[in-house]
Each structure stands twice: as structure tokens, then as C-alpha cells.
Amino acid sequence: MQEVSGKRDIAIARLSKIVDKLIQNNSLYQERLDKQEIIQHLVNLLDKFSPEFINALSDGELTNRIDSILVIEAVSGTLNDLTPEQIEMFDAAVERR
């Protein structure tokens, strides 16, 4: 049991380190994301996978996957920030496509 807990702790440490690096290097992430909430979200996702799976991913692959999650988190709700006029312009642009 301790071995599983140790592997999980290693996976969480990797996730945290990558999140720190990605947020430090991206002003959008700094502005729109709460680092602790993101880490907790990723830990919850980690529980759906085995620590061995996470730890088997290369740093590059894990970074790419986490970055994809951060992008979605950062831009979700963006349309909620638009004024009614901006929403009309957006809807018109989408209809033209």
C-alpha cells in the first residue's frame, strides 16, 4: 500500500512541477488560473489513472497533456466576459462560416 502511495506522491510532484513551470511562462495562465485549483483538478484526474501510467509518460508528453488542460481551463468562460454587442458580433461571424 505504501508503494502505491509513494508512486502517487511522485506523480503529484511531477504534475505540480509542470504546472508551476507552465503558469510561470504564460501570462494568460497567470491571469486566469489559480495554481492550487489547477493542481487539485489534476490530482482528481490522476485518481482516474494509475500512478504508474502517469509516471511512465515522458516529461514532454505529460507537459503537453497538462498544457492542453490549462488552455481549456484558461479560455473556458471567455464568452461570458463579452458584452451583448460583442456577442452579437461573434454570433454574426459564426453564422457567416
Predicted confidence (pLDDT) per residue in 36-71, tens digit: 999 999 999 888 988 889 889 999 999 999 999 999
Percent of the chain with pLDDT over 70: 96
Rounded mean pLDDT of 10-35?
A: 94
Distances (CA, A) of 30 to 18, 36, 67: 14, 12, 13
In the block, residue with C-alpha cell 490549462? 70
> Residue 97 has what pLDDT?
67
Percent of the chain with pLDDT over 90: 54
pLDDT at 22 over 80: yes
pLDDT at 3 over 80: no
Distances (CA, A) of 42 to 15, 20, 95: 7, 13, 36
- Kindly report the average pLDDT of the chain as a whole number: 89
